[in-house]
Amino acid sequence: MPLTGKRILIGLSGGIAAYKSAELVRRLKERHAEVRVVMTESAKSFITPLTLQAVSGEPVSDALLDPAAEAGMGHIELAKWADLVLIAPASANTLARLAAGLADDLLTTLCLATPAPVAVAPAMNQQMYRHHATQDNLATLARRHTLVWGPAQGAQACGDVGPGRMLEPMELVALIEQHFAPASQPKAQPLAGVRLMLTAGPTREALDPVRFISNHSSGKMGFALAAAAAELGAEVTLISGPVALVTPTGVQRLDVESAAQMHAAVMAGIDTQHIFIACAAVADYAPKTVASHKIKKTAADTMVIELTKNPDIVANVAALPNKPFTVGFAAETRDVEKYARDKLDRKGLDMIAANNVATAGQGFNADDNALTVFWPTGQTELPLAGKAELARHLITLIAEKYHDTH
């Protein structure tokens, strides 16, 4: 069993989801993991140390300076002991203190002192989760390679509905098992035998032989998705605008320049595809005429360029009689949910991944991104992470929803 002998330190911060942590500890013990528990003072208001001691079979720690520990420094002993530290639930307050690097209690101190990976399972009210401060703190932790597991979306104890529910114990167990899986262990391939086409990068709409209209897309997200899909067994066709990226292993790549060329390439091969992901930042409009020679500067202070609408690739795919499972992207600068849900409904998509490209450090040309994913019956948050990690989460979600409908 992958968890046999693994030393897992479970940290509890204050939150109603703390009641789930007893089940988490029990399930880990069933898998022969060694489990120790650390609690904050707030956590003890929701569940007793005696309960966690009973299910773990070990004393529960809560004191920064423990007279019973060797040299009175229990935090150093625990920090060295752990193979993985998982804070579940991780409250908004605890995330803020971790992001600030505070060490004012046992839990935050051992997170600074441990060489082991640290994971957090956020759990809080949906408005607290959505607050810019919390999102900034999660982004900071992600940049420091803290693993962010969750949260889930749904009804909350306060009566609200939205993102902020802690993942269920068995979901966390699965993530822990995945974390410890040997690198040589074959990966699950839920997309084996599935043909997947996706678009990536920008398009260039020529004005003349030397100038064009384009955008800031680097193609990194689309290429990361192609790589992740290939890892899960899909037969991947990547149709890319002009980018300076290496083709992922096992991916067939077609290069195009303009939106019209991208549309033609997609429609030529879409009939054989099971999944289509429109990740490219396609120009909505192109110049109505392209000058045959370089346009020269004149004495006039202004220039008028007449534009004509480009074909809507993702809408055309979604309108096909036997359409593939169709996923769109929405890169917005405001009202992200409003515009994303409108695009989902108006274009007949099965799923849409939306992000706010006005947020510094994510989206176009950045190495990190964060997404809110919508489908007709639900939504989920994928917090800020490196685009490769984020792509794996998104492709796994797409595979799940695809199989739910096929």
Residues belonging to the active site: 158
Amino acid (1-letter code) at residue 45: S
Backbone angles phi, psi at 84, to 5 degrees: -155, 135
Query: Measured between alpha carbons, how far is 274 from 269 in angstroms, rounded to an integer?
Result: 11
Token reading at 348: 């007949």
Query: Measured between alpha carbons, how far is 213 from 366 in angstroms, rounded to an integer?
Result: 21
Task: State the DSSP string of 260-326.
Answer: HHHHHHHHHHGGG-SEEEE-SB--SEEESS--SSPPPP-S-S-----EEEPP-HHHHHHTSTTPPEE
Q: Alpha helix locations (H) across 320-386?
A: 336-346
β-strand partners of 378: 375
Helix (H, G, I), strand (E, B) or coil at 64: coil
Query: Measured between alpha carbons, how far is 308 from 287 in angstroms, rounded to an integer?
Result: 6
Helix (H, G, I), strand (E, B) or coil at 23: helix
